[in-house]
Structure 1
Amino acid sequence: MHQHFQVARAHGMLTVRDGLVPGHDPWDRLSAAREADVQGIWDLSHYHRNFDPIHTAQIAAEAALGISGHERLWLCPVNEPSLYPRLSGMRSHEAAGMAITMARVARDHHPNIGILTNDPITGVGDRQFEATDAIVSAVDVDVIGVNYYPHTARTALSKVLVKTWRRYRKPVMVSETSWHDGHPVHHHRHPGFHKGHWWRHVHEEVEIARRQGVNVVGVCWYPIVDCPPWHTPRARRRWSHGLIRSDMSVDPALAAELFA
Structure 2
Amino acid sequence: MAGYECSTHRRADGRRLDMLAATRHDRWAEQDYNRLADLGIRCARDGLRWHLIEQQPGRYDWSSFLPMLRAAQRCDVQVVWDLCHYGYPDDLDIWRPAFVERFARFSGAVARLMREEGIETAFYSPINEISFWSWAGGDVGYFNPTARQRGMELKHQLVRASIAAIEAIREVTPAARFVQCDPLINVRSLSRRAEDIEAAEAYRLSQFEAWDLLTGRSWPGLGGREEYLDIVGVNFYPHNQWFLHGNRIEPGSADYRPLVGMLSEVHQRYRRPLLLSETGAEDTARVPWLHYIGEQLALAVERGIPIAGMCWYPFLDYPGWDDDRYCPTGVFGYADSEGSRASFHPLTLAMKSLQARFASSVATVQMP
TM-score, normalised by the number of residues in structure 1 = 0.88
Aligned residue for 1:99? Answer: 162
1:21–1:56: 8 Å Cα contact kept in structure 2? no
Aligned residue for 1:49? Answer: 88
1:56-114 CA distances to partner (integer Å, 9 max, x unpaired)? Answer: 202211111011242x1000001100122313317242112211111111111223200
Task: Tell whether 2:361 aligns with 1:252.
Answer: no
CA shift, 1:13, in A, is 1.2
Aligned residue for 1:187? Answer: none
Paired residue type of 1:80: E
Task: Tell whether 2:165 aligns with 1:165.
Answer: no
2:49–2:84: 8 Å Cα contact kept in structure 1? yes
CA shift, 1:231, in A, is 2.4
CA shift, 1:238, in A, is 2.7
Aligned residue for 1:240? Answer: 328
Paired residue type of 2:70: S
Whichever of the two has the greater Rg, that structure is: 2
Aligned residue for 1:225? Answer: 316
2:163–2:228: 8 Å Cα contact kept in structure 1? no
| Mapping 1:141-156, distance limit 5 Å | 141-153=229-241, 155-156=257-258
1:82–1:95: 8 Å Cα contact kept in structure 2? no
Alpha-carbon distance in structure 2 between the residues aligned to 1:178 and 1:64: 30
CA RMSD of aligned residues (A): 1.8
Secondary structure of the residue that 2:181 maps to in structure 1? strand
Structure 2: which 5+ runs fail to align? 1-28, 54-63, 93-101, 138-142, 148-153, 187-200, 217-223, 243-256, 336-340, 354-368
Q: Aligned residue pairs: how many? A: 245
Secondary structure of the residue that 2:308 maps to in structure 1? strand
**Match 2:297 to one of 206, 223, 230:** 206
Alpha-carbon distance in structure 2 between the residues aligned to 1:20 and 1:103: 16
Aligned residue for 1:178? Answer: 280
Paired residue type of 2:269: R
Aligned residue for 1:189? Answer: none
Paired residue type of 1:151: H
**Match 1:88 to one of 136, 144, 158:** 144
Alpha-carbon distance in structure 2 between the residues aligned to 1:174 and 1:73: 19
Alpha-carbon distance in structure 1 between the residues aligned to 2:119 and 2:314: 28
1:173–1:218: 8 Å Cα contact kept in structure 2? yes
Structure 1: which 5+ runs fail to align? 182-192
2:83–2:124: 8 Å Cα contact kept in structure 1? yes
Alpha-carbon distance in structure 2 between the residues aligned to 1:119 and 1:103: 17
1:65–1:110: 8 Å Cα contact kept in structure 2? yes
Secondary structure of the residue that 2:299 maps to in structure 1? helix
Aligned residue for 1:63? Answer: 113
Secondary structure of the residue that 1:68 maps to in structure 2? coil
Paired residue type of 1:110: T
Paired residue type of 1:220: C
1:16–1:220: 8 Å Cα contact kept in structure 2? yes
1:196–1:255: 8 Å Cα contact kept in structure 2? no
Alpha-carbon distance in structure 2 between the residues aligned to 1:244 and 1:59: 33
Secondary structure of the residue that 2:309 maps to in structure 1? strand
Aligned residue for 1:114? Answer: 177
1:2-24 CA distances to partner (integer Å, 9 max, x unpaired)? Answer: 11111123211100000023125
Greater relative CO (CA pairs within 8 A, separation 6+): 2
Alpha-carbon distance in structure 1 between the residues aligned to 2:119 and 2:236: 34
TM-score, normalised by the number of residues in structure 2 = 0.63
